[in-house]
Amino acid sequence: MTADLVQSGSFEQLALPLFDQLYNFAQWLTHDRSEAEDLVQETFTKALRGFSSYKQGTNFRAWMYRILRNTFLSSRTGLEATATTQLDLESASAPVPETVESETPESILIERSNHHLLQASLEELPVHFREILLLCEVEEMSYQEIAETLAVPIGTVMSRLSRARAALRDNVRGKLKRA
């Protein structure tokens, strides 16, 4: 987002390009289509009401994600889901194989079981680890954007991300040893 667009931009010019990203994030948090729609609608409503308090020159994307996250955490759904939120990895765009011939029933079974193993491991992580992995790896936010979104210092982002990756790695290894 350029500084000119932020300074001269209307709420719609700034917010509408973020709609799909915010909806995807909301759906991963809520794991329910209608709740995600409600969450995004509430986010846009709150952001529009508070647009006059938005500080021009700051990261608008992070500001919108923070509103969505805070709305989720303060909602009944967010409080209940902190222990059960799962990421829908199937909705994430997966690379398309270059040749269909390389897929065999065995390779498809292995890929699906790996997907389920990873999803189960992600589900077991605390919500603060899941959300930081989602923001970094799926939403591809920079550490600075994540820090602004979560309202934490950048050092906290880096250490939390490191601990989240280690916890995920340990969880997957544990599941593989038991399998």
178, burial (CB in 10 Å: exposed 0-12, middle 13-18, buried 19+): exposed
Crossing angle for the helix pair 154-178 and 143-150, nearest 10 degrees?
Answer: 100
What percent of the chain is predicted at pLDDT more than 90?
39
CA distance 47 to 50: 5
pLDDT tens figures, 57-107: 889 999 999 999 899 888 754 444 444 444 444 444 444 444 445 566 666
Give the ranges where 82-139 is alpha helix by DSSP (H).
105-123, 127-133
Is CATH 3.40.50.300 what the domain over 107-179 is classified as, yes or no?
Answer: no
Q: Give residue 94's pLDDT.
A: 44
Q: Give residue 93's pLDDT.
A: 44
Q: Is the pLDDT of residue 137 over 50?
A: yes
Domain-wise residue ranges, the chain: 1-85, 107-179
Is CATH 1.10.1740.10 what the domain over 1-85 is classified as, yes or no?
Answer: yes
Sign of CA dihedral 61, 62, 67, 68: positive
- pTM of the model as a whole: 0.62
pLDDT band at 113 (very low <50, low <70, confident <90, very high): low
Q: Give residue 6's pLDDT.
A: 43
Q: Residue 167: which of 115, 116, 132, 141 has the closest Cα? A: 132
